[in-house]
Structure 1
Amino acid sequence: MDIRIIHTEQAWKLRHEVMWPEKELDYVKLQDDEEGTHYGLFEGEVLIAVVSLFIHGAEAQFRKFATLASHQNKGYGSRLLLHMLGEAERAGVNRIYCNARIGKASFYQKFGFTVTEHTFTKGGKDYIVMERFFGTPKLRLQRRD
């Protein structure tokens, strides 16, 4: 297995196959896809999982995390997620978040993500915003006279 940066079109193809096969390909494209870094996990030359990372200063969001159904629950997604989190932290990100399907929240909690109060429904699926902070939060010291 190896993880590498992939072309946007490769991410679209796997996203479509895994997440929304009943929709048109354009449905899985993001307006800001060209601004993101797309990571792919390969077994040989077969693309198994993808995730797209969007960094904006000290914050980042990852989107469209997808693993082939035949390879789910085998650690592929976990390995890709850990890689992407490492890349975000090395880039100086303090906070990373995602829109997780509610049924997948426990998966993200294993990686230090916590649920927020923000939920929404899109395409008939329920989501919750989850976040993780890197490093120790800086405490504000107040001077007391």
Structure 2
Amino acid sequence: MQIKVVELDQVWRLRQEILWPDRPSSFSQVTGDESAQHFGVWADGDWRAVVSIFETHEGFQLRKLGTQASYRRRGFGRELVQHVLNWCSEKKAADVFLDARIHQVNWYEQGGWVKKGKPFQKYEKAYQRMIYTL
């Protein structure tokens, strides 16, 4: 397993396969992708997980973390998140935020993330804003 920078076309392919398989491919493209930093896990000859980090007016935002189903529970997500947190720390960020799907909140809490505010709805799914202080 290696963590590497991922080209945007591969990011979109992975997001589509992992996060939004029931939506059109354009749904996996978000505003700011061109200026964001994208990292992925390379294992067994292909990309197996992906995450993007965006610099916003609120600070650094971790978005679109996903791991292929057959590669989950191997620590790829944790490794990617830690890589992004280290990257943000090098950029002198004080903290990082994300909007976690509700069913993933506990996973993030186990990694040291803290809830901020109340859950909200987006794209017919429930989310929770979370913060990690560096």
**Alignment TM-score, normalising by the size of structure 2:** 0.94
**Aligned equivalents of 2:15, 2:78: Cα separation in 1:** 17
**Aligned equivalents of 1:103, 1:3: Cα separation in 2:** 25
**Aligned equivalents of 2:58, 2:15: Cα separation in 1:** 26
Give ranges in structure 2 of 5+ residues lacking alignment: none
99 and 58 in structure 1: CA distance in 2 versus 1, 3 angstrom threshold: closer
Once the two structures are TM-superposed, the CA of residue 123 in structure 1 deviates from its matched residue by 2.0
Number of the residue aligned with 1:46: 46
**Aligned equivalents of 1:56, 1:92: Cα separation in 2:** 14
Deviations 1:93-118 (A, max 9, x none): 11100000011011111221100114
Once the two structures are TM-superposed, the CA of residue 58 in structure 1 deviates from its matched residue by 8.2
Give ranges in structure 1 of 5+ residues lacking alignment: 135-145
Number of the residue aligned with 2:31: 31
Aligned length: 134
Question: Could you tell me which amino acid in structure 2 is paired with residue 40 of structure 1?
Answer: G
Number of the residue aligned with 2:97: 97
Please say if 1:6 is aligned against 2:6. Answer: yes
Partner SS, residue 73 of structure 1:
coil
6 and 42 in structure 1: CA distance in 2 versus 1, 3 angstrom threshold: same
**Aligned equivalents of 2:3, 2:120: Cα separation in 1:** 31
Number of the residue aligned with 1:129: 129
**Aligned equivalents of 1:45, 1:53: Cα separation in 2:** 24
Choose 63-72 or 38-47, whichever is displaced more.
Answer: 38-47
**Aligned equivalents of 1:106, 1:120: Cα separation in 2:** 16
**Alignment TM-score, normalising by the size of structure 1:** 0.87
94 and 58 in structure 1: CA distance in 2 versus 1, 3 angstrom threshold: farther
Number of the residue aligned with 1:15: 15
**Aligned equivalents of 2:27, 2:82: Cα separation in 1:** 27
RMSD (Å) for aligned C-alpha atoms: 1.4
The within-5 A match list for 1:45-124 is 45-56=45-56, 59-124=59-124
Q: How many percent identity over aligned positions? A: 29
**Aligned equivalents of 2:61, 2:99: Cα separation in 1:** 9
**Aligned equivalents of 1:57, 1:120: Cα separation in 2:** 20
